Amino acid sequence: MPATWKVPSESPVAPLACCTLDITLAEQQRLTAMFKALGNVTRFAIVKYLVTHPDCITGDIVEFLPIAQATVSQHLKVLRAAGWIQGTILGPATSYCLDTANITWFRTKVGKIF
């Protein structure tokens, strides 16, 4: 801190709280992991695609996005680990859809913060 800056001992007016941060460390880590996963443009596009195309397989997403199948698979792995999507194995393919329980949890937590 610069020598001229002083921490006020008491503020005459307390600022109004704009949000509540009443979440546990585990919830905070889960929430930041979900935000981080959506912070990638390609992963965000995959989530948007799954909103209107539930229960699609990797090949469907590859046809929609201009990237390789291996890259799509890696993005799906990150989204799944973060809780945005879930997959059901159907023979040689996996059918992906949004994980509505985790998305509901995410929306509730974000709503409590902001």
Q: pLDDT tens per residue, the chain (114 residues)? A: 445 555 555 556 655 666 567 788 999 999 999 999 999 999 999 999 999 999 999 999 999 999 999 999 999 999 999 999 999 998 999 999 999 999 999 999 998 877
As its CATH architecture, domain 25-105 has Orthogonal Bundle (1.10)
* Two tokens, residue 36: 């981080």
Q: Please tell me the pTM assigned to this model.
A: 0.79
**Cα–Cα separations (whole angstroms), residue 99 to 11, 21, 33, 46, 50:** 45, 24, 15, 13, 10
